[in-house]
């Protein structure tokens, strides 16, 4: 194994998860819009929640880890992964 490979592998072990997270975060919300706002709009557009579902309610449910909509529904997952619809299609 070359010295370069060892350095690259060490870097990947230490930083890959963080870099991947940053990349995905930037890709799904490049203008750094409010997460609650873009997620609630997406959920409403998908018909998973009504117009009365608020950003405050989403934050509360997010913090508790319990949602009042089917969080594993395909549309809900789409809203989690790409709430602005920039790069994923269902």
Rounded Cα–Cα distance for residues 46 and 35 (Å): 16
Q: Of 47, 48, 35, which Cα lies nearest the Cα of 83?
A: 35
What pLDDT digit, counting tens, does each position of 44-75 carry?
A: 999 999 999 999 999 999 999 999 999 999 99
Q: Is the dihedral of CA 32, 38, 39, 40 positive or negative?
A: positive
- Can you tell me the mean pLDDT for 13-18? 71
Which comes out higher in pLDDT, residue 4 or 76? 76
Q: What is the mean pLDDT of residues 2-27?
A: 74
**Over the stretch 23-48, which tens digit does the pLDDT of each residue have?**
778 888 999 999 999 999 999 999 99
DSSP string of 9-25? HHHHHHHHHHHHHHHHH
What is the spatial distance between Cα 24 and Cα 73, in angstroms, rounded to a whole number?
21
82 C-beta neighbours (distance < 10 Å), count: 19
């Amino acid at each position: 194994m070359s010295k370069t490979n060892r350095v690259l592998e060490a870097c990947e072990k230490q930083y890959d998860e963080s870099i991947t997270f940053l990349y995905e975060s930037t890709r799904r919300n490049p203008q750094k819009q409010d997460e609650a706002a873009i997620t609630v709009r997406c959920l409403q557009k998908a018909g998973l929640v009504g117009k009365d579902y608020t950003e405050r309610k989403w934050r509360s449910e997010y913090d508790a880890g319990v949602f009042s909509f089917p969080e594993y529904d395909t549309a809900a997952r789409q809203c989690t992964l790409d709430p602005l619809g920039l790069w994923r299609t269902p």
